[in-house]
Structure 1
Amino acid sequence: MAIRVYSVMVENKEEAYRAVASVGADKSGCAWMAPKAVHRLVMLDGVQPRQANIMKQEMLGKGGEAAVARGVVDNSVPETRVLLMGTLKQYEAFLAKLKSQPFGLPALADRIRGVLDGQEGFTPYALDCRGRTIILGERTLVMGILNVTPDSFSDGSKFHDPGRALERARVMVEDGADIIDLGGESTRPGFAPVGVEEELDRIIPVLKRLVNEITVPVSIDTTKAEVARRALEEGAGIINDQWGLRGDPAMAGIAAKYGAPLVLMHNQKGTEYRDLLGDIAESLRESVGIAMAAGVAREKVIVDPGLGFGKNAAQNLETLRRLKELRCLGQPVLIGPSRKSTIGKVLNLPVEERVEGTAAAVAVGIANGANIVRVHDVKEMARVARMADAIMGRVNLDI
């Protein structure tokens, strides 16, 4: 029989271990070789030449590589980016060496290790949403959007009445929603901000009925700490902050006080970036830090790259394409591509005809590591999620 030759792809140490084991290696050999099969790129920005020269020397000495700016060798540049390239085995030796170096490199080694650990993914776990539990990491969860605003870009004024809102939520749960995301202020382009009392007047009557009559957690989509506090008092289980704790400085403390999980979204004014995913990741890392400094447990934080917020259409597509890069944060990832204007621009379709475009974005997002998808069309997107999970091997199927 002719020898067959083909490629094998691995994403992390677990997959590498299985690949090595498939050739018949023993357990100790699998454990030794698996880190050699996983290659990682890590970018550092704002590195001093004296730090970069040491890192390049040490990475080369371990069999890896480090790309630096041309002027690093003679200190003719004030700072540089450094692109580290190596296997996990090479990083182990490299980081051990950095721990004994000067110029702040031991602390930098810890940050690099954190990025590498985050890229391995997280073990599925139960998240307590103040009395109701969801499991993160086993399969993709579906968050159903319930807007009780008169000016939502997709379903404005449809569910302002508490009775109609409750019926819509029930249908979404029956269709596969794991979380209901209740919002009382529009975020469409050019929206008119509303005050705390008006937002509360919209959401509280609906929330009171939801928490008593549906079985899944209710998330409150707000940027106002007082709205979040009142919603939590009424039984909401999650805070979804579209400004990633940058809009209201009291929000993190409210989440900590009530033990509420947080969805932290990247947002900014304007669309200027040095490096799109690098900037998003750093901003989200800072948001996670704000939450933890206030007393929120890391496992209660979910990050959202903010599709459609502070990004143009091309940047939204790039964010989905490079979504795997957010694994470096080590947090569950939520995406909200549903019916967004980017889909309309690509397909030249109005809001009500963007289901297929949303489905494509959801599927690609799941393939690239999304753990939760926030959508309007729950029945259709729950089916897309189940199929995508099956393709990605995230569910056990008896077929």
Structure 2
Amino acid sequence: MQIYGMRWVAIDNLSEAKMALTQIGSDPAGVANMAGKGIGRAIKLEQVPLRAAHILKQEMLSVGGDAAVHRDVITNSIDATDVMLLGTVRQLEHLAKKVSAQPFGLKKIGQALKQLLIALEPSTTRSLNCRGKELILGERTLVMGILNVTPDSFSDGGRYASIEDAISQAQRLIDEGADILDIGGESTRPNYAGVSAEEEWKRLEPILKALLERVAVPVSIDTYKASVAAKALEVGAHMINDVWGLQRDPDMARVVGDYRVPVVVMHNQDGTAYHHLMGDIFAFLQKSIELAETQGLSGDHIILDPGIGFGKTTEQNLEVMARLAELKTLGHPVLLGASRKSMIGNTLNLAVNERLEGTLATSVLGVVSGADIIRVHDVKANSRAIQMADAIVRGQRGVHYVGA
């Protein structure tokens, strides 16, 4: 039996909370005061020294929340502990303010917590300059179309190796809805030995030069080699997509920094052993962010990719997909590249050319999880699915009610 229309209301951020309270007719001052009380957050910190952990626990309790720590903290028999802060946005905002004035590294924790809470809110619309070509982030989910000009890619190797075929396919991808083209001259499929920088550039150069004369969208180069990236940027490429997150070639960060171009930094590793899957991925990406920042890049120019299909088992890939939204806490745009990957093939027991439906599922989940860019082979179908998901997800909760 329903009592007074009792129901659960899904509220994930402050914007939705404010809309829901405004719908009730609350006073604007009350809306501002109450909005943060209806949103629960769990914030994890790793290996916090005991003195700081004790204070975090006490301060969270003082604002009405809680903090989970290792059971041995009470006896001081360990040196550090992971901490899970449990509270509402309002409580966590109070905590950030309180600890920002305290010692033992708590000032930095308070500042970082404040920025993390901001990052969890819906992103604003802003412009990303790609060497004169503009991408609008935050308004809708962008589509990056894949153009492999290799003879041996796992999905479409050899199909677009000639200039004519590559140009034709590039135009098709743009006509079908691609906002960015991502060109790769070397296969990154599992267990592939790779090619020299000279061979990779030999494949890329003529096609890249032809494309830059013909297409209006930004062109990204999928390479982890600094010399290839430098040559591509010299002739006019607009961004770099590095599957090793600036950490395989020591000159890559300098190259992208010199040209001030957006760079996709992807998580990758040899093998599939992790201490803590998401924690290790975050640590890797944070190092990539620091490498880019050292060379003058910041904000939206650093785009994060969790690396589906790279250094992960099928089960690990599925967990990353399920927790994709957590990447937003790093404060940079997120790119998802799951198109036709083995995760889909292994889960559905399907060959590469039969993975469209599985890819569409990952793309829709990417929209729901807040991805800014989704990298795919089949642009038309994915673009339509992404557009539909955007229409549902972006800013709809609480928009329509009587009196609006």
TM-score category of the 2 structures, normalised to the smaller one: over 0.9
Give the AA of the match of 1:392: V
The CA RMSD measured in Å over matched residues stands at 1.5
**Is 2:286 the partner of 1:285?**
yes
Contact 2:96 2:109 in 1 (8 A): no
Using the alignment, how far apart are the partners of 2:180 and 2:154 within structure 1?
Answer: 21
Give the AA of the match of 2:54: N
Equivalent in the alignment of 1:162: 163
**Is 2:356 the partner of 1:355?**
yes
Equivalent in the alignment of 2:109: 108
Once the two structures are TM-superposed, the CA of residue 15 in structure 1 deviates from its matched residue by 1.1
SS of residue paired to 2:157: coil
Using the alignment, how far apart are the partners of 1:381 and 1:394 within structure 2?
Answer: 21
Further displaced range: 264-273 or 333-342: 264-273
Give the AA of the match of 1:118: A
Give the AA of the match of 1:297: S
Equivalent in the alignment of 1:235: 236
Once the two structures are TM-superposed, the CA of residue 99 in structure 1 deviates from its matched residue by 2.0
Equivalent in the alignment of 2:197: 196
Contact 1:146 1:169 in 2 (8 A): yes
Further displaced range: 255-264 or 64-73: 255-264
> Can you give the 5+ residue segments of structure 2 that lack an aligned partner in the other structure?
397-404
Using the alignment, how far apart are the partners of 1:152 and 1:98 within structure 2?
Answer: 51
Q: Deviations over 1:216-274 (max 9, x none)?
A: 11000000111111101111111001111101121122112112111111111121223
Contact 1:148 1:159 in 2 (8 A): yes
Using the alignment, how far apart are the partners of 2:132 and 2:101 within structure 1?
Answer: 47
Equivalent in the alignment of 2:376: 375
Give the AA of the match of 1:24: G
Equivalent in the alignment of 1:337: 338
Give the AA of the match of 1:81: D
Using the alignment, how far apart are the partners of 1:32 and 1:320 within structure 2?
Answer: 34
The two structures have a TM-score, normalised by structure 1, of 0.96
> Can you give the 5+ residue segments of structure 1 that lack an aligned partner in the other structure?
none
Using the alignment, how far apart are the partners of 2:337 and 2:153 within structure 1?
Answer: 15
Equivalent in the alignment of 2:269: 268
Give the AA of the match of 1:50: R
Equivalent in the alignment of 1:133: 134
Equivalent in the alignment of 2:401: none
Once the two structures are TM-superposed, the CA of residue 129 in structure 1 deviates from its matched residue by 0.9
Equivalent in the alignment of 1:97: 98
Contact 1:49 1:73 in 2 (8 A): no
**Is 2:218 the partner of 1:217?**
yes
For this pair of structures, how many residues does the alignment match?
396
Contact 2:142 2:372 in 1 (8 A): yes
Using the alignment, how far apart are the partners of 2:269 and 2:188 within structure 1?
Answer: 13
Equivalent in the alignment of 1:59: 60
The two structures have a TM-score, normalised by structure 2, of 0.95
Contact 1:121 1:330 in 2 (8 A): no
Equivalent in the alignment of 1:296: 297
Structure 1 moving runs of 4+ over 6 Å? none
Using the alignment, how far apart are the partners of 2:252 and 2:158 within structure 1?
Answer: 27
Q: Percentage identity across aligned positions?
A: 50
Using the alignment, how far apart are the partners of 1:126 and 1:322 within structure 2?
Answer: 27
Once the two structures are TM-superposed, the CA of residue 37 in structure 1 deviates from its matched residue by 1.7
SS of residue paired to 1:390: helix
Give the AA of the match of 2:135: I
Equivalent in the alignment of 2:319: 318
SS of residue paired to 1:46: strand
Give the AA of the match of 1:300: H
